[in-house]
Amino acid sequence: MACFWAILEEAHITLLAIYPDYQRQGLGKLLLYKLLEKAVQRQLERATLEVRVSNQSAIALYEHFGFRIAGERKNYYPQTGESALIFWRNDLQRAAFREQLNQWRQEILSRLARGEWQLEEETRAKIDIMGMQ
């Protein structure tokens, strides 16, 4: 599950989650790729998100996609008092970023194929990945 808010020229990623049984299979990359692709299509210039400081796998994912730490929100999560790192990814409208999106697309398709993931037509339509074939 993933979504972002479009605020002015920014995509604020508010949710990116994979059920634990399906983590580390490339699905997080797929969802983040699709969020960034949609942000580009909507002419947004940059993307931002917050992540728990303890979530090392998510941090690695975001860094892989070019997000950089811009700050920290102390005690951001009220249930635990854990802090959040603030990440930003700029230059979404540059040609170099669009080229990088194409490279990630190929990487993701290859990873999903190795994991023997097959998405049915109805599922592809629901999550809007028809352009990934």
- Per the annotation, the verdict on 50 as an active-site residue is yes
50, 77, 82, 107: which is the annotated catalytic residue?
Answer: 50
Angstrom distance (rounded) from CA 98 to CA 40: 8
86 CB-contact burial (10 Å; exposed 0-12 / middle 13-18 / buried 19+): middle
Residue located via tokens 């929100």: 73
Q: Residue 116 contacts by C-beta under 8 Å, 6 or more apart in sequence?
A: none
10, 19, 33, 62: which is the annotated catalytic residue?
Answer: 62
Rounded to the nearest angstrom, the gap between the alpha carbon of residue 63 and the centroid of all alpha carbons in its chain is 10
Tell me whether strands 82-89 and 10-16 are parallel, antiparallel or unpaired: unpaired
| Active-site amino acid positions | 50, 62
